[in-house]
């Protein structure tokens, strides 16, 4: 409020008028997402849930959190326009943006130019954090709030190694969509799978525009692998439906981003049954004391389980708010300084960021002490955790047409 108005209000008090409480300006967090997709919709949903909880508890030093939403329509160009509007017209103080790597990579230079702190809750490309490492001054405003692709691959390999024996997994075909995030993902798959004793028979990169997966599955069946190791996100529904309808007798294990929400089971008409996907939090396991309360609140509000980037978004609103509180305001450089000091136990584990000495600068730390991975399977229409053993609550079980050591 302008000083002249404050003086007028002060003068009015002096003549016996009651001065009403003046609400402090809100802290605005822009949320840019692909709201028509299963995964993307979870981003604004979770952000609003977190903001409402923070506001109900008094906000940040009396300032309320306001979520300003933008739909980028799965377009990097639309996302850039939304980011520019968020900074110049809507005057947001931080941005949570997208689960699509191409979108985040397009926004990253703008984050630096406009000095706007930005964090992604779901994009995975290693390049996001590598850019921060390579040119810190230009890119320090970007934070990578989800597992980088290389870490995702390693997590899948850790899980496959643990279950390979009982399932008799020896040969694999890697099948990933052709996208920025799968370039480092596949490169690491091709390194880590042989290290755990899995022979890679073929490596297939498919167009995200693919609608008929019959030729791909026919080729894979001809090779007779024991498992298809996946890297799919944008094409998740169609390959899963055709895998089921064609009774492809090979297990699918790996990254399947859309499979992380209960909407996926409905959208595939149950074809998701038996799919095993890697994630960092799940609706049936309390990774931390905050996980299950969040899932319960999210399901109550939206009638679905949160997709993977719902968990991260929820945590990010909280630790962005905490960074602003510790920074004593919304100066972007001070917010960055405080975000770098983040040590926050959220729904996915303990969140801390790698420092400038790491090639993954500003990416979340990945280890059993911080953020770990798990394998979740669709069984009977529900998501159940099957690995690691210390938190698993179900045994792996496949539909009858899948030929593995379990049947």
Q: pLDDT tens digits for 284-316?
A: 999 999 999 999 999 999 999 999 999 999 999
pLDDT of the residue at 263: 87
| Count of other CB atoms within 10 angstroms of residue 9 | 15
Stated pTM of the model: 0.90
pLDDT of the residue at 11: 39
Query: 236 pLDDT band (50/70/90 cuts)?
Result: confident
| Dihedral (Cα; 264, 267, 273, 274), 10-degree rounding | -50
Query: 235 pLDDT band (50/70/90 cuts)?
Result: confident
Phi, psi of 220 (to 5 degrees): -65, -45
- Average pLDDT for residues 177-187, to the nearest whole number? 96
Here the tokens at position 85 are 């509007």
pLDDT in tens, 332-341: 999 999 999 9
Query: 24 pLDDT band (50/70/90 cuts)?
Result: confident
pLDDT in tens, 74-94: 999 999 999 999 999 999 999
DSSP state of 370: S
Which structural domains are found in the chain, ordered by start? 27-147+288-351 (3.40.50.2300), 150-279+373-387 (3.40.50.2300)
List the one residue out of 386, 389, 387 whose CA is nearest residue 397: 386
Pairing mode, strands 94-97 and 142-144? unpaired
In whole angstroms, give the CA distance from residue 4 to residue 209. 59
More confident residue, 149 or 258: 149
């Amino acid at each position: 409020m302008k000083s002249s108005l404050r003086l007028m209000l002060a003068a009015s008090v002096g003549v016996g008028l009651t001065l009403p409480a003046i609400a402090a300006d809100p802290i605005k967090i822009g949320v840019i997402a692909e709201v028509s997709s299963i995964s993307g919709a979870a981003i604004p949903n979770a952000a609003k849930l977190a903001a409402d909880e923070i506001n109900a508890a008094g906000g940040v030093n009396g300032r309320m959190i306001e979520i300003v939403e933008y739909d980028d329509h799965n377009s990097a160009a639309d996302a850039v326009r939304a980011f520019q509007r968020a900074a110049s017209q809507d005057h947001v103080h931080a941005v949570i943006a997208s689960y699509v790597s191409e979108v985040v990579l397009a926004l990253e230079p703008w984050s630096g130019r406009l000095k706007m702190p930005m964090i992604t809750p779901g994009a995975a490309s290693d390049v996001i954090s590598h850019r921060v490492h390579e040119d810190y001054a230009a890119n320090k405003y970007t934070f990578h709030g989800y597992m980088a692709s290389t870490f995702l691959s390693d997590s899948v390999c850790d899980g496959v190694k643990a279950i390979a024996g009982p399932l008799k997994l020896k040969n694999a075909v890697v099948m990933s969509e052709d996208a920025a995030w799968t370039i480092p993902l596949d490169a690491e798959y091709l390194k880590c799978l042989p290290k755990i004793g899995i022979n890679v028979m073929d490596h297939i990169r498919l167009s995200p525009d693919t609608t008929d997966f019959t030729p791909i599955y026919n080729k894979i069946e001809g090779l007779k692998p024991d498992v298809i190791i996946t890297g799919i996100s944008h094409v998740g529904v169609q390959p899963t439906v055709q895998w089921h309808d064609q009774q492809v007798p090979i297990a699918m294990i790996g990254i399947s981003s859309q499979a992380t929400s209960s909407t996926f089971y409905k959208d595939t008409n149950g074809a998701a049954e038996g799919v095993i996907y890697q994630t960092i939090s799940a609706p049936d396991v309390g990774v931390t004391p905050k996980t299950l309360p969040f899932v319960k609140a999210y399901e109550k509000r939206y009638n679905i389980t949160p997709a993977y980037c719902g968990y991260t978004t929820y945590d990010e609103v909280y630790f962005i708010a905490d960074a602003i509180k510790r920074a004593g305001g919304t100066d972007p450089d001070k917010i960055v300084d405080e975000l770098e000091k983040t040590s926050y136990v959220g729904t996915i584990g303990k969140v801390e960021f790698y420092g400038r000495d790491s090639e993954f600068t500003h990416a979340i730390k990945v280890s059993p002490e911080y953020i770990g991975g798990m394998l979740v399977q669709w069984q009977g229409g529900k998501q159940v955790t099957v690995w690691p053993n210390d938190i698993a609550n179900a045994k792996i079980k496949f539909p009858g047409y899948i030929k593995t050591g379990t049947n």
